[in-house]
A and B are shown apart, each in its own frame.
Chain A
Amino acid sequence: MDIPYTVKPRPDTGLYNAKIGMWLFLASEVMLFGGLFSAYIFLRVGAPAGTWPHGWLNVTLGTINTVILALSAITTLLAWVALKLNQFPRYKVFHALTILLALTFLGIKSYEYRDKFLHFEVQLKDGRIADGHMVENKRDADHIVLHGHYVENRAELMDGHTKGKEHTELKIPRADIKRMQNYGPAHNNFLGIYFCLTILHALHILGGVLVIAYIWGPGSKMWFTDPERYTNRVEVSGLFWHFVDLVWIFLFPVLYLT
């Protein structure tokens, strides 16, 4: 016995099973990201005065990534429309674009992560702080080289928009260093929740693109045997993809612009 309504919609609900399943899944995803966004607000509102940074992220890269995801939403839609119109080759092209765009997004995201991991705040024994990107950090060398600048006070680092001082190569003897930490999740809570949110989002992108790529590649044989079912698959994976894009539309202003 076949399970009914896997392909054709049930008349009284107007939906096929997988679509309902996806909507339910997305409802739970809304709660997942909703929980994280609430956490973000909670942490930000409760942060001790002067400890929540601004402008630490690269808005240009963020904007590019936003555009990329927006474009991929369009190609996803067009891919599905192409199937509906029975134009399989066009579908192939559009979803190839979706996959490429998604990979570009992930590429840019990893570049941003790398940038953060190379960015160090070095507290010196004399109370000053050196802040900048690590150029040289050999374990056996007695110094490190940082491309950055010195500040007197941590608070000066909190606003990344105002790039006051020139960045230069700083050679810092290890003996002068009290504490050294990169801009990873442990650095402060902004970065903590930033990584938490964006890693989770990037995992969703990764999962989504794997599914889309499977349907696009090896799974596409189904188009020739069961086109309706195949179109449904594309539609449902598209729903997920739109949701993931939507999350980014919230993430971008919240993390990059405020």
Chain B
Amino acid sequence: MHATTQTMPHDPAHSAHHEAPGFWRSYIFSIDHKIIGIQYAITALAFLLFGFSLMAMMRWQIAHPGQSVPVVGPLLATLFGDVAAKGVMSADLYNTFGAMHGTIMVFLAVVPLLTGAFGNYLVPIQVGACDMAFPRLNMLSYQFYFVGGIIMFSSFFIPGGAAQSGWTSYPPLSLIVPTDGQTYWLLGMVFLITSSLLGSANIITTIIQLRAPGMTWLRLPFFTWAQFVASFLLLLAFPPLEAAGVMQLMDKVTGSSLFLPTGLAVGGKVAEVAGGGSPVLWQHLFWFLAHPEVYVLILPALGIVAEVIANNTRKPIWGYKSLVFASLALGFVSFIVWAHHMYLTGMGTTIATFFQTTTMIISIPSVIILTCLLISLWGGSIRFNTPMLFALAFLPMFGIGGLTGLPLGFSASDLHLHDTYYVIGHFHYVVAPGTIFGLFAGIYFWYPKLTGRFMNEFWGRVHFWGSLIFMNVVFMPMFAQGLAGMLRRMSDGGINYSKAQVGLEGALSPTIMELNHVILWGAVGLGLSQIPFILNLFWSIKHGEKIPNDNPWDATTLEWQTETPPYVYNFRREPIVYRGPYEYSVPGCDKDFLPQNQPDQPTSKP
């Protein structure tokens, strides 16, 4: 860490403003993008762990339906009462946990980590700015996120429990479940959406306006590009879901029937509603968001992986321009593929043709991005440290997830695979060993920038191998189950459809059912593998190996060219950018990296 005594070249008015701002102003109501990034990171990691715990309990129920959940059973019984009588997870509770697992993972854990934490912390520094364009809005964005999180979390403890109609919240089910959880869910979503809108407008403005001199568009690190595209997706795709959320709230609160058709009879009683609404309308509005949303889940992770790979192969990313244009293409096309989630809602031939075509088109830019990253390895001088291991493992794991998207993209094959565990397998390969590995790579990689210390390499490797192996133990069997026809969202793990129960032709075989146990142990192993990570994360703040200088990975991008942790306004002197982001191993240079802000002719002055 620098012990700089050099006087600040900036106006003194601001240093006065920065005199001892006190605990609250510095950490809780800070407007410094770095602090806000860290706030996001901590909150979102906690939600990540929480989302996983929900799922761990569900996996127990799937493998041992009707048996009391070990360890936490009594706790469940006290917390939730009847729905968890004797610590057994009832169907209500299972559905609640399932819906909230999806919601929490997507909206409260992974997206906030990717854009809120990484985006917030890194984008301004990478473009050479002193902060986000709108620091106050940035703080507000975190506060909205936090309130949304609190609303979601507290809904577990209201009578009847949290939302229980899937993260997709399809009406009429979501409107008729007898709990206010759905109302909380909708309110929470409105907050989260507002938070995302503020955050993404901020990131985009920062990238457009605050680039340092010389930082042209094609000199932006790919991570920043990925954030740019992802922010546009959030900005433009979320509002229709906000509209839909408001409409569903109307239905819930005022009794309108925008999503309720005529002739509804619930539980033997004709529903007292006006009718005439359309359940499919919700699905269109939901997936109009949720498809672009999945690219929000992957693009920033791809960005992280690209940074780590460039740095650890010690050579430029291959096809930087193709990467940029492919991400832009991905962004555009992602707005017109949403109905591939709805092939079986009675879609006609023409519309299905359209959406199958766009779905296949969107796989091309993904293939291009992945190919560029793969080819970047060729000719490198690869350092295998923990961040790099995660970044490398990301590639084949995302590959599996992406490739299994293809059979889902054709309506004729989706016919068999829709709503089976094949879908669950597909998207978890992209979001769990995909995105989450990207996140891990990013955490190990930028940790020294935040703390001045490395995370422990040995325990990092333990974390890596444990996660890699158990992720596959968890998700690989799901493809087999899905192909055999096991359906998702089964609160009894599918026994009602098993050979043992019904004895019909084509019922689920004992082998397929047995896989549920394998997955359970995989999930337990996966959870245990995170312990070294969590300990490492906290332990290394004080005890990790100190970094030798401010740029311990010999990196080129701007965030490594400032002190550690970065000065409040990031750079003491506004950086001037002379070259692209990945000038590693430039022929004729004595060092194997050329920072973006290093002048070609080293000047004599410091």
| A and B touch in their complex, CB below 8 angstroms | yes
Residues of A bordering B, CB below 8 Å: 1-5, 10, 13, 15-18, 20-21, 24-25, 27-29, 31-36, 38-39, 42-43, 46-48, 51, 184-189, 191-193, 195-196, 200
Given A35-B285, A43-B258, A200-B246; 20 other pairs, CB 8 A cutoff: A2-B14, A3-B129, A3-B130, A3-B210, A5-B210, A10-B209, A18-B134, A28-B197, A28-B236, A29-B239, A32-B239, A32-B240, A36-B247, A39-B243, A192-B251, A192-B256, A192-B257, A195-B254, A195-B256, A196-B250
Q: Contact check: which of B236, B244, B254 meets A185 at CB < 8 Å?
A: B254
Check B262 for interface membership: any CB of A closer than 8 A: yes
Contact B209 A47 (CB under 8 A): no
Selected A-B contacts with CB under 8 Å, 11 pairs: A1-B10, A1-B11, A2-B14, A3-B135, A24-B201, A31-B239, A43-B277, A184-B254, A187-B274, A189-B258, A192-B256
Residues from chain A with a CB closer than 8 A to the CB of B246 are 196, 200
What distance in Å separates the Cβ of B312 from its nearest Cβ neighbour in chain A?
A: 33
Complex CA gap A10/B205 in Å reads 12
Complex CA gap A191/B257 in Å reads 10
Quick one: given A24-B204, A32-B242, are A186 and B276 in contact (CB under 8 Å)?
no
What distance in Å separates the Cβ of B551 from its nearest Cβ neighbour in chain A?
A: 22
Nearest CB in chain A to that of B203: its residue? A24
The bracket for how many chain B residues form the interface is 35 or more
Contact B288 A186 (CB under 8 A): no
Complex CA gap A9/B254 in Å reads 46
Contact B276 A185 (CB under 8 A): no
Residues from chain B with a CB closer than 8 A to the CB of A196 are 246-247, 250, 256, 258
Contact A195 B202 (CB under 8 A): no
Complex CA gap A191/B273 in Å reads 13
Identify which of B137, B204, B205 gathers the most chain A CB atoms within 10 Å of its CB. Answer: B205
Complex CA gap A169/B254 in Å reads 29
Identify which of A16, A28, A186 gathers the most chain B CB atoms within 10 Å of its CB. Answer: A28
Q: Contact check: which of A13, A17, A51, A189 meets B256 at CB < 8 Å?
A: A189
Complex CA gap A47/B131 in Å reads 51
Quick one: given A47-B276, A185-B256, A189-B277, are A27 and B243 in contact (CB under 8 Å)?
no
Check B255 for interface membership: any CB of A closer than 8 A: yes
Q: Top 4 closest A-B pairs, CB basis?
A: A35-B240, A192-B256, A35-B243, A32-B239
Contact A13 B209 (CB under 8 A): yes
Residues from chain A with a CB closer than 8 A to the CB of B204 are 20, 24
Check B553 for interface membership: any CB of A closer than 8 A: no
Residues from chain A with a CB closer than 8 A to the CB of B360 are none
Quick one: given A25-B197, A51-B276, A186-B273, are A39 and B247 in contact (CB under 8 Å)?
yes
Complex CA gap A86/B523 in Å reads 68
Complex CA gap A43/B237 in Å reads 21
Quick one: given A1-B10, A3-B133, A28-B239, are A186 and B255 in contact (CB under 8 Å)?
yes
What distance in Å separates the Cβ of A82 from its nearest Cβ neighbour in chain B?
A: 27
Quick one: given A4-B210, A24-B204, A43-B258, are A188 and B242 in contact (CB under 8 Å)?
no
Contact A32 B205 (CB under 8 A): no
Quick one: given A4-B210, A28-B238, A43-B258, are A35 and B131 in contact (CB under 8 Å)?
no
Nearest CB in chain A to that of B274: its residue? A188
Q: Contact check: which of A24, A42, A191, A195 meets B281 at CB < 8 Å?
A: A42
What distance in Å separates the Cβ of B34 from its nearest Cβ neighbour in chain A?
A: 14
CB-contacts of B253-280 with A (<8 A):
254-258, 262, 273-278
What distance in Å separates the Cβ of B409 from its nearest Cβ neighbour in chain A?
A: 24
Nearest CB in chain A to that of B198: its residue? A25
Quick one: given A3-B210, A24-B204, A189-B256, are A48 and B276 in contact (CB under 8 Å)?
yes
